[in-house]
Structure 1
Amino acid sequence: MIHSAPLLLPVSRPPIRDGALAVADGMVVAVGHRREILTAYPDAQELRWPGMIVAGLVNAHTHLQFTGMAAVGARRYGSFEEWSDTFDAAYRDRPAADWASDARDGALLALRHGTTAVADVVTDIEAMPVARQAGLTGVSYLEVLGDTDAGWAETGRGHLISTLRELSGAPGGVIGIAPHAPYTLDTGVLADLGVLARRFGLRRHIHLLESAHEREYTMSGSGPLARMVRRLGFDFEILRAGGSGQGPAHFLDSLGLLGPDCHIAHGVHLDARDRALLREREVSVALCPRSNRTLGQGGPPIAALLREGNPIAVGTDSPASSPSLDLLEDVRALHRLARRQGYQSPDLARRLVEAATTGGARALGMANGAGRIGVLEPGARCDFAVFPLDPGERDPYRALVEDGPGGCVATVTGGDQAGQVHLAISAPERRHGH
């Protein structure tokens, strides 16, 4: 099968006018100018798409199972803690929720907007396999939160190990561990989750510095976040000890949680020391600016992250804190935020599209080897999105950032020999043999 379009954006190489890719068994086998690909594969069937083919988008932080809680994300909040109280109440009010069905709805919405891979944080186990069943690739991270050291030793650790063993025997999908955040788990539990992740060979994904009060919490065990944690009934060591004397990033690092097999979400309040530590540990940051805005948190230091060379990715978070699962909307928000923060380099649009593709692949540990994602090149999965855009004389990356949100007309994911087509609004022109 050959997929072609007036413009091909492989991300791993410069844009190709009148480009094409040849696909076999759900994998890309060749990329180049359409005439070259048609000549090389004269008997292949061609699907001619309108506009621009773009390497599949990678949503590096979301909770698909919370798609049915969009009412929580439909308003603005004065603080993270205010949103968290509202979310917790809404979650408790849904004891009979069909989390698998909600996750499936979220997966279809993600596909509708050109996302082909996700870092999906799963709180309720029934939602664990849904992303893969819907056609998405990526990593499903089993979330752990609320455990004290005593409860962990008594039942929590054994339950997690048995769950991980059960999941590792299930067909399909890559799993990881998501220690929720520095303020929702006891110190010993956090350290042990790093040990267990290494023992089982699992990636880690952690919420970090989403709240403006998180640094106060880990430094001195005080402030609005500490009061919220106490109100929830958690008796953690860090609260009893009056803090750790360390900021959140360095606190996690002291527990052995940071490293190239870990990525964090949000990082709104990262300072220069934090950013330097994350670079040293090769930890990617999944930025979710629209979610941060909903929670009254401003935005992450995108300009500094770009200038200093931190590996970044892009996420939407869930509809419980974000207007949609359209990843390009967050890319566009980051573009505007970076300009406001003084980043004026002409490479901005390209670097942000890379963050939403190759950056996400790196964060999920899927940037290399057979079946890699976030690029269109030989050996990569046949994952791409189609946007009916004609950049004209504009930079194609800038055209995608400015006009791409809301405009995806089809998403293709590596599946059968041709690739699996999802939610095509504008049917491609089908041609046989050349």
Structure 2
Amino acid sequence: MGPVIHSAPLVLPVTRPPIPDGAIAVRHGRVVAAGPRREVLARFPGGEELRWPGVMTPGLVNAHTHLQFTRMAEVGRQYYDSFEDWSTTFDSVYFSSAGADWAGSAREGALLALRHGTTAIADVVTDIEAMPARQQAGLAGVSYLEVLGDTDASWAKTGRDHLTSTVRQFAGVRAGGTGAIGISPHAPYTLDTGVLADLAVLARGFGLRQHIHLLESVHEREYTVSGTGPIARLVRELGFDFEILRAGGTGQGPVAFLDTLGLLSPDLHVAHGVHLDGDERALLRARGVSVALCPRSNRTLGLDGPPVAALLEEGSAIAVGTDSLASSPSLDVLEDVRVLLALAREQGYRRPDLARRLFEAATDGGARALGLATGPGRVGSLEPGARCDFAVFAVDPGERDPYRTLIEDGPGRCVATVTGAHDSGRVHLTTSDPEAHRGY
């Protein structure tokens, strides 16, 4: 039996130029050929063809979200004056959610992600019952076990053993694919200094990737430098007795602080980076750290957008995330890319490659942030050897730049998402019915 051939009027492989009337051939859930439709059909004359309308792209990679908070959308539908204002509201809702069905909430989030063309996710998991949702939905990516609130004393007493036992519980699936796991130290202000350093050691020992929130709040720098400010007050109100508070800070900004502790490496990517300065961006580049930008979430929290123009001009590695529905209007990655396009222009980016580079960030860039851009089952591109993950958007670029058309017109217009969960691809048709997902 020949492979299944998926074709469309325009295919954007990302890693090479657009292919008018293009196609990919798929066997065993992997792309075996990509190119002009006539060439692919001639190469596999016995293959079954599925013709898709619109533009076919690699599946989007959501490089930062929390699927389990999908049912906390009431928090994300409001606008806030500051990160600290939002955090207070979030904590109130979260800590009053005893008995919440986090697994069900995460499953709903996974289906929403698929509906918007996302096929891989960096999912931060706070409550372990939400852990299987991404894998069950056939989404590639990494599920990051979140660690927060531990002092050095509580970590030594129970925290470290709890994390290592949980990692070992999932050890059989940590190597990659849909089952990959990682570690998420929540942020520089929610863990003690010794805990952050030990998490870096544990991640290297277990061969796991890491993901951390960084410089989402303008007050985070004051916290790490002097142990003062609104974040320090918030941390004290939550009852955390951290070394930084006792010592009056470290004298270092958040990025340098994490670097001193050994966290910065190509196996780590950070979320937000709204307040990164030039030296901090340079240090992240030197350490091979990607930054997942979440501009719509930042707006909900009353924050300025990230320095996307500077990151692009300087050649920093960037990806795109939505964050969760607890701080974002939707899980549509393209909506965030559209905001980044406007933001980069406002910040002075004038090169004609802007749309292409931002779409690359939402696909191949996200795959690189998650360590899934190379090797078997790689994602983020439509090349031979890659996982059969793609999305189809009902747009027609005509003579226009296809990347700009996709970013400006594509949000909300995904008509199908295909993942490599089955031999020839698992098709998720865009519909209001969450049960309308079928395999071919």
SS of residue matched to 1:71: helix
Match among 209, 228, 232 for residue 222 of structure 1 = 228
Partner SS, residue 199 of structure 1:
helix
CA offsets, 1:282-340, max 9 Å, x none?
A: 00000000000001111000000000010000000000000000000000000000000
CA distance in 1, matches of 2:45, 2:78: 55
* 1:163-189 alpha-carbon deviations (Å, 9 max, x no partner): 111111369600000000000000000
CA deviation digits over 1:23-82, x for unaligned, max 9?
A: 000000000100001110001100000011011100000000000000001111000001
Shift of 1:423: 2.2
What corresponds to 1:119 in structure 2? 122
Match of 1:262 in 2: 268
| Cα contact 2:115–2:431 (8 A) shared by 1 | no
The answer as to 2:331 corresponding to 1:325 is: yes
Match of 2:6 in 1: 3
Who is 1:74 aligned against?
Answer: 77
2-side partners of 1:239 and 1:167: how far apart? 35
How many angstroms apart in 2 are the aligned matches of 1:15 and 1:389? 14
Choose which of 281, 288, 291 in structure 2 pairs with 1:282: 288
Q: Is residue 106 of structure 2 the alignment partner of residue 103 of structure 1?
A: yes
TM-score (norm 2): 0.96
Alignment of 1:351 with 2:357, yes or no, is yes
- Contact 2:103/2:133 (8 A) holds in 1: yes
Letter in 1 for 2:139: L
Partner of 1:294: 300
Equivalent-residue separation in structure 2 for 1:397 and 1:425 (angstroms): 25
In structure 2, the residue matched to 1:17 is: 20
The residue aligned with 2:164 is 161
Task: Quote the offset at 1:370 in angstroms.
Answer: 1.6
Kindly indicate whether residue 44 of structure 2 is the aligned counterpart of residue 50 of structure 1. no
**Alignment match, 1:429:** none
Question: CA shift at 1:406, angstroms?
Answer: 0.5
Taking the aligned partners of 2:95 and 2:325, their CA distance within structure 1 comes to 17
Give 2:340's aligned residue: 334
Cα distance in 2 between the residues matched to 1:381 and 1:425: 24
**Against the structure 1 CA distance between its residues 95 and 305, is the aligned structure 2 distance closer, same or farther, given a 3 Å change threshold?**
same
**What residue number does 2:416 align with?**
410
For structure 2, the residue ranges without an aligned partner over 5 or more in a row are 433-440
Quick check: 1:209 aligned with 2:209?
Answer: no
Q: CA deviation at 1:424?
A: 4.1
Once the two structures are TM-superposed, the CA of residue 425 in structure 1 deviates from its matched residue by 5.3
Offset at residue 212 of structure 1 (A): 0.7
Instruction: In structure 2, give the amino acid aligned to 1:323.
Output: P
Output the CA distance in 1 between the equivalents of 2:15 and 2:23: 14
User: Following the alignment from structure 1 to structure 2, what is the Cα–Cα distance between the partners of residues 334 and 170?
Assistant: 34
CA distance, structure 2, for counterparts of residue 205 and residue 122 of structure 1: 11
Q: Work out whether residues 186 and 238 of structure 1, in 8 Å CA contact, stay in contact via their aligned partners in 2.
A: yes
- The alignment's C-alpha RMSD in Å is 1.0
Q: What TM-score, normalized to structure 1?
A: 0.97
Picking from 82, 85, 90, the partner of 1:87 is 90
1:64 equivalent in structure 2: 67
Tell me how far apart the structure 1 counterparts of residues 244 and 213 of structure 2 sit (CA, whole Å).
Answer: 18
Give the paired residue count. 426
Question: In structure 2, what is the equivalent of residue 430 of structure 1?
Answer: none
Which residue does the alignment assign to 2:33?
Answer: 30
The answer to whether the 8 A contact 1:25-1:415 is kept is no
> Are the equivalent residues in 1 in contact too, given 2:227–2:247 (CA < 8 A)?
yes
Q: Is the 2:182–2:210 contact (alpha carbons within 8 Å) kept by the matching residues of 1? A: yes
Measured in 1, the distance between the counterparts of 2:195 and 2:85 equals 26
Residue 290 of structure 1: SS of its match in structure 2? Answer: helix
Of 165, 177, 182, the match for 1:176: 182
Deviation at 1:417, TM superposition (A): 2.1
Q: Check the 8 A contact 1:52/1:389 in 2, yes or no.
A: yes
2:241 matches 1:238:
no
Q: Which runs of 4+ in 1 moved over 3 A?
A: 169-172
C-alpha displacement at 1:135, in angstroms?
A: 1.3
Structure 1 SS opposite 2:136 = helix
Letter in 2 for 1:91: Y
Structure with more relative contact order (C-alpha pairs < 8 Å, separation 6 or more): 1
